Structures are given as C-alpha cells and as structure tokens.
Amino acid sequence: MSGVFPASQPRLAPSRIEACLVPSGYVTDSTDCDDGSRAVNPAATEVCNSIDDDCDRQIDDADASVDTSTGSTFYRDGDADTYGDASSTTRACSLPSGYVTDSSDCDDGTRAVNPAATEV
C-alpha cells in the first residue's frame, strides 16, 4: 500500500488515502500546489506573473530560478534624478531599488543633468 492524494486538491490539503493501486483521479505525490491550473506545477518555469508557478513557495523576483525574460527592463539611476542610463540595464519582474523605467538620462553621474533640467 502507498499513500495517494486527490489530483484535484492542492498539496496542502490533508486528503490522503492508502491504496494498493492508484485510483482514478489520484496521484502518488502531493507536490502540486495548484491543481486548478495545469501551468502551475513543480516542473513549471517561474515567470513574472505574481504566482508561484513552480510550487517552491517563492514568487517572481524572490525565486532565484525566475525567467527574467518575462519581466521588464529597468535602467540604473546612479544620480537619483529619476532618469536612468540606457546602457546600464537589468531585467526583473518588479522595479528594483536604484533603477527606473525611464532611460533618457544622458549623464547619469550628475543629478542636475537630466531631460527635465533647465538649460543654463
């Protein structure tokens, strides 16, 4: 006999039966964290969508295995003027500290030089 779990229940559900053969609608492990979605399972790739796709209890940027190509491009803002350097980027699911969404800073080392600054 081995423990089997309902195929329609999340892994945290306490539903388990003992059986010699796996009955229809049951599986031999309880690692699937969302049976309501075929895309969410332990073999899935973590993508930027605010869901724990691969059932490791980590979501998006918190998961080291996230596919950042599904995220956005952010630009380093070295002078904290809210404009970033187009040549210094990172891809992530959400905006990381020190980065912005605007890439139009022509001098990211000088806060007073940016697209909104007044020419003197």
pLDDT at 57 over 80: yes
| SS3 label, residue 69 | helix
With a CB cutoff of 8 Å and minimum separation 6, the contacts of 119 are none
Q: Report the chain's mean pLDDT, rounded to a whole number.
A: 88
pTM, 2 dp = 0.74
Report, as an integer, the average pLDDT of 16-29. Answer: 79
The whole-angstrom distance between residue 18's C-alpha and the CA centroid of its chain comes to 36
pLDDT at 8 over 70: no
pLDDT at 9 over 80: no
Domain extent listing, the chain: 24-70, 72-112
Question: How buried is residue 27: exposed, middle or buried, by Cβ count under 10 Å (0-12/13-18/19+)?
Answer: middle
